[in-house]
Chains A and B, each alone.
Chain A
């Protein structure tokens, strides 16, 4: 009679990493849908492309590293990295921009550090920042103009041809993002004049507002289902709001809060990118600090930096700070008077 000899506990919950990642993927779908509705097929095609490249790259590297390929592919984390890049890159970004971003994200930012769980930086944002710095033209002139504004929108085949370089990008197909427009036009115009630009539409930022609201909705589902905790998104959005109200309260000089919140990659960043558990702070207090840091940096770069949007930079900069934050935000353990920190003599 031989029974299994195992250490307790003997039961485990239904939680699985692959399930967590699946929920993340599912919750991005409303946002992807809105992107497709308002900005054409670009994001959908890029997302599919990025996911495919991500999985292929991950598989190749795992094979090289002599790791079980299927076991790790099944955790869906490579797919999530590809997905986030597909959602974040400009809809009409050429295929090689996507490829470079994804390959860098998977190989450089993830597998070279030891694969899942060992990367200090958010892989998708490393890839994004690299292509943003390396290919500024391709990254800024390929944002689709929103539909319903009168200009032509490329069809599915044409979009494919544009992405793969077989068709020219017609000027009317693209348009600067609302954040970009406001930032550059407000220097020489009043708020009311800037808002006349077709990028803003009737509400806040044509198309972008719906995309952001859809990501917000998906993010709330993640929070409710406890896939992510509320700390990072809430503190990040709160910090962004506070900064905007404190420094950018005058819409004739700075981008107003509504545009900050509902355009650009704000909601995608808050709920899906900054919450990457591997590269984020771990304790609740730490997460609040981490999210707030991202919000502050996001505003600083958007308002006074060279880039119209800055989720990637803000997240990466705070990734640097994570070990420091973790060090100072250890929770107080039951029965202890206060939290204890690692003494320097032990390091």
Chain B
């Protein structure tokens, strides 16, 4: 005889189980329509792969698992897909979710099944894959994907595999009936799980109020190593943590999982589903549901297809809405009420209670808490419910949390015993919700603060840099002035002085129109050689961009992310490279003519790069705006925007490259201009204005990059490194632009 432990607290509510066990497991007729939700489990919704109008067979895959934490969804019967549409689903909030609507054809014809006669021929990973593809999620309540659960962390060796057949909640008899009638399947499923996990012992835990199920299980485990352990009836012995405590004396550590202490708990229904999936190749498309409550003429268990509207099921057994006050999905202790009987049966629907006012009288008004601590005496988690209530009532959520509010399993024992009829669990749900909300807001404001501080630091740094540069410039200017004065003393030259005055004026007028000065500048432009250089630079940049994009695409493909957009970007870049190549070739061909034309005062070949630079800058500004809006969006959406940011970053890189190219061109122009045409006085000034303009833009871009980097750092994005490098590059570029500008200015003032 196995030693049993007890768990603290617990209650003995009226069981009310006999009403629904007298009629076996009935099979209701097919409903007119089935509404199969895509998400019936914890994790991501399955990805639908049928379309309206498709004909599907029973057991055919409707939706495939999406991501790691997900399971498949199958057609519960044969028929045609009517629609894929949002429909009311079983949820306390009464929300709607995506459902595949199937109109049964009545033939109930199976798709091809692939039964495994001897599961020993397969290895554990293969069996786990079958379980995942059969759409099996925990059928006890939470609906956690079974395959994941059967796949505990490598460090956690499961020594004790427990099958939970306690079914401690009043009214519910679905597991009881399953064990009575299909004990063989339950045991078979447990054997498969044991084959996967290789535990030291297998236990089926069952409350002593189910003698027939106990007898059936005992017969079924004959000759196996599985032990059927009968435990005393006490709510909530079927809670995973409580059952583990009863059977092993161990406690699941705080914030841990049972596997951490070498234990795993599975529901008996889940085991039966695993057996059917492996042995018969049948996916999880139906389950046993208890229909009970005085609002029904006949209280019974049914084998209900997933997706059957609950109202339809109830109607088959004499549902009288007039006699029903509460429609409860689940048990009376932890179930939630429905106001819409159209919601479908899902994989976790173990019970529906059409409760009459006599069974479930309206709760009396709550009286003040007298701290009688009956709640604490009944709490299986050894919490202090009365303290949690006080803290919840006074909204002292911090203290509630310190009193382990989040260990509450919401079993309802405290509310059940409360002599003041206080809806304690409701208070705890409220507090939990508020705390979660506060946490989110806290995280948000933390991010905002980090961003703000980073920005503040950056602004200060920029200010300091600007200050230093201005000083350097002022010194240089002073020096130049001194030199000039010295020169002027030797050979007075009004022309030179007026030239330097023009330089100053042009610098002040940063937005001076380039077109106006074009006729003047044209003469100063170096011939086609710089233009060729520029084109070559463009090509190099474009190639670099292309490589970056391809790298990104590869990464994205490796991660299975949204590759379409990246692919398009790569194509675009490819085109750009081609265009650049073309331009370079053209320019090379045109070179001789360009050289001759360059001599003339109106050099059209050189007008183009200036115009281009202007347009480029305009474009860059637009793009920056776009990026800014993306950034805003990203801020709102939190951290899900890695892809977008990546795209934005790569775009920004391109833009910066363009700016760089433009700048380098200007550098060349500037270097050559004063030498080529030192007599032309106003020309360097206009050049300078252009350069200043470009520099400002580059600086703006750098600022933006910095802001993005700050945000990415705050969000903990993966692309921080990339952004950091980009920012560093931009810094270099700005510095170079600045240097170029300074160079340009100095020679012009000295040579003037």
Contact = CB atoms under 8 A, between A and B. Distances in A.
Interface stretch (A14-22, A151-159, A312-320): A14-22
B309 to A, nearest CB: 13
B459 interface: no
Contacts of A343: 402
Interface residues of A, number: 46
Interface in B302-332: 321, 324-328, 330, 332
A229 B382 contact: no
Contact of B372 (A4, A20, A337, A342): A20
Given A3-B339, A282-B386, A340-B402, A11 B419 contact: no
A12 B421 contact: yes
Given A9-B334, A11-B332, A277 B370 contact: yes
Contact of A280 (B7, B355, B362, B371): B371
B365 interface: yes
B421 A116 contact: no
Nearest to A280: B371
A282 B334 contact: no
Interface stretch (A124-132, A234-242, A327-335): A327-335
A10 B321 CA distance: 18
A282 B241 CA distance: 25
Given A333-B407, A335-B256, A336-B254, A9 B416 contact: yes
A8 B423 CA distance: 8
Contacts of A7: 336, 423, 425-426, 429
Contact of B404 (A71, A277, A326, A340): A340
Contacts of A13: 11, 13, 416-417
Nearest to B354: A3
Contact of B398 (A12, A17, A335, A346): A346
A172 interface: no
A135 B734 CA distance: 92
Nearest to A9: B412
B98 to A, nearest CB: 24
Interface in A13-56: 13, 15-17, 19-20
Contacts of B254: 333, 335-337
A17 B410 contact: no
Interface string B418-439: 1111010110010000000000
Interface stretch (B58-66, B373-381, B477-485, B510-518): B373-381
Contacts of B326: 3-4, 6, 10
A117 B338 CA distance: 34
B118 interface: no
Contacts of A16: 419, 421
Contacts of B426: 7
A205 to B, nearest CB: 33
Given A1-B321, A9-B333, A11-B14, A19 B419 contact: yes
Interface string B660-688: 00000000000000000000000000000
B335 A8 contact: yes
B348 to A, nearest CB: 15
A61 to B, nearest CB: 15
Contacts of A1: 321, 339, 341
Contacts of B399: 342, 346
B403 interface: yes
Contact of B367 (A10, A75, A335): A75
B170 interface: yes
Given A16-B419, A19-B419, A11 B371 contact: no
A277 B372 CA distance: 5
Contacts of B386: 282
Contact of B412 (A4, A8, A277): A8
A278 interface: yes
Nearest to A341: B402
B339 A5 contact: yes
A330 B384 contact: yes
Nearest to B360: A10
A111 B403 CA distance: 29
Interface string A76-99: 010000000000000000000000
Given A282-B386, A343-B402, A12 B363 contact: yes
Chain B interface secondary structure, helix, strand, loop or mixed?
loop
Contacts of A9: 332-334, 412, 415-416, 425
A301 B562 CA distance: 80
Nearest to B410: A8
B564 to A, nearest CB: 44
A140 interface: no
A273 B651 CA distance: 78
User: Which of B367, B383, B403, B418 has the most chain A CB within a 10 Å cutoff?
Assistant: B367
B355 A10 contact: yes
Given A8-B412, A11-B13, A333-B404, A17 B338 contact: no
B223 interface: no
A134 interface: no
Nearest to B241: A334
A2 interface: yes
Nearest to B92: A7
Given A71-B365, A334-B241, A3 B372 contact: no
B337 interface: yes
Contact of B371 (A277, A336, A341, A342): A277
Contacts of A342: 399, 402-403
Contacts of A341: 402
Interface string A186-220: 00000000000000000000000000000000000
B387 interface: yes
Contacts of B324: 3
Contacts of B327: 3
A115 interface: yes
A229 B326 CA distance: 35
B560 interface: no
Contact of A4 (B337, B383, B423): B337
B251 interface: yes
Nearest to A347: B399
A283 interface: yes
A258 interface: no
Contacts of B421: 12, 16
B417 A15 contact: yes
B316 to A, nearest CB: 17
Contacts of B412: 8-9
A282 B339 contact: no
A344 to B, nearest CB: 11
Given A10-B332, A336-B404, A17 B419 contact: yes
A330 B382 CA distance: 9
Nearest to A332: B382
Given A277-B372, A283-B384, A346 B419 contact: no
Contact of B337 (A5, A278, A282): A5
B387 A117 contact: no
Contacts of A3: 324-327, 337-339
Contacts of B333: 8-11
Contacts of A346: 398-399, 402
Given A8-B425, A17-B419, 18 more contacts: A3-B324, A3-B326, A7-B426, A9-B332, A9-B425, A10-B337, A12-B415, A12-B416, A13-B11, A17-B367, A19-B419, A277-B370, A278-B371, A282-B373, A282-B384, A330-B403, A331-B384, A341-B402
Q: Nearest 7 CB-CB pairs, A to B?
A: A9-B412, A117-B368, A15-B419, A7-B426, A277-B372, A335-B254, A10-B332
26 contacts: A4-B326, A5-B337, A8-B335, A9-B416, A9-B425, A10-B332, A10-B333, A11-B170, A11-B332, A11-B360, A12-B421, A17-B367, A17-B372, A17-B420, A20-B419, A278-B371, A282-B384, A282-B386, A283-B376, A333-B407, A334-B241, A334-B252, A335-B253, A335-B407, A336-B254, A340-B404
Interface of B: 7-8, 11, 13-14, 170, 241, 245, 251-254, 256, 321, 324-328, 330, 332-339, 341, 355, 360, 362-363, 365, 367-374, 376-377, 380-384, 386-387, 398-399, 402-404, 407, 410, 412, 415-421, 423, 425-426, 429
